[in-house]
Chains A and B, each alone.
Chain A
Amino acid sequence: MLEKALVGSKKYWAWITFLGVLAAIGVFNYLHQFSYGLGLTGMHRDVTWGLYIGQFTFLVGVAASAVMLVIPYYLHDYKTFGKIVILGEFLAISAVIMCMLFILSDMGQPMRVLNIFLHPSPTAMVFWDTVVLNGYLFLNLLVGWVTLGSDRKGIAPPKWIKPFIYLSIPWAISIHTVTAFLYAGIPGRHFWLSAIMAARFLASAFAGGPALLIILALIVRKVSKFDAGKEAIQAVGKIVAYAMFANVFFLGLEFFTAFYSGIPGHAQSFVYLYTGLDGHSELVSLMWTSTIFAAVSLVMLWIPAIRKNEGTLVLACIMLFASLWIDKGFGLIIGGFVPNPFEEVHAYWPTQPETLITIGIWAIGFLVLTLLYKIAITVREETAGIELEH
């Protein structure tokens, strides 16, 4: 089926070239970072994780969100998702690949990455995160490829694939739970030391991932004959609305505990993020942008008339995605490091090479996504009209 990605229109190749150039710029900057060291980034001894780890955390959520399509379709036999589910699975694959690239980019000694397997440490959450992420990549590759291969031949997928599909459901939950555990078990980082972290992660993932999927499905419909279906997109829209409500509610719970308890350590990071602390207010406008986008998109998704109009639905999804990206891909990580263990504020802002590397990895992710979607779309276009039987 891979050959399907090699045939396309001029627009297709222009898009591929565009992503390729961004990826090349990223790789070039990474080579510089590789030889100079991570000092090329904006990170320092007090904010030791930045944009890279933020993107990793955010994208694990995007990857996990495929389960929001897999559960209705495979577990509840919700046939409406028959066409969109493959878009979700392939999005998960590209998201996991981006996660791995961001982790590698963040390593001081990337050549030693296999030490994680040479000296496995079950007490380390990174070890488990590596295991579950690789497993999830494998599961989605297998399930996506086998089901699409069967579609191509116009037959039902083989029975042996079912256990893998069912396994991918708890597995998706596990990747984001373990990712939350990277943060939620660290003493002395009050901002992260919250029992609700994993639940919050899942809620934001199940809002942000499907929101991106709606945007992608509408783009796919524009550029090809593949239509995920109006009803399917509406159903995903409802999922986004409920998940976003849960996410905003969970964030509210964090605020309550931090400020009602009055324990300074618990409140300081929130104060830094939303109003500024000790004269530092680098993230304040970003965090309020996130807050306003969250509120507006939630209201838009809540009102049926707005949600049912695809034009306004996609606008709400873009705002929601941007809101969660700021909150989880940036604020959550930086907030954990500010103030530092000495209660001093040392700000962080990504450098230009760091930003270009980040854009480069997103470009690689979208390149993978484009190729996978191209294959899926072409297969589906060829078999259009044939009733899918899963």
Chain B
Amino acid sequence: MTPKKIRWFFILLFIVASLVFFVVYPVPSLLSWQSACASKCFFVLMICFGMCLYRLLRGPTPADRAASMFAMGILIVGFCAILSIPTGRVWYIDIAIAWALQSFIGALAIAKFLEGKGFDE
């Protein structure tokens, strides 16, 4: 067993354990109006957030961190869209639009900053 094989074994174990957890264990809903299907969707999105956080913490260059922040911003849009279904509240989609525009402007600002230019060029 080389170290690489041991690492792959642990990753495979993590994937199988998360799949079993996803199928068997019902995710405890935070609020009483969440349907079961929406809470499963939240679980999948949480896994996506975990992967983005891994790249955000470990990324070797600043551009990696900017990319993962942008991906997390788009994921939050999907989160708000799913949250608006069981509640029936429309203003979650307003939050989604605002968050999309804000993450776009943030990504542009980080890109300008990395490029070494001022903000008015």
| Interaction A to B | no
Q: Which residues of A contact B (CB under 8 A)?
A: none
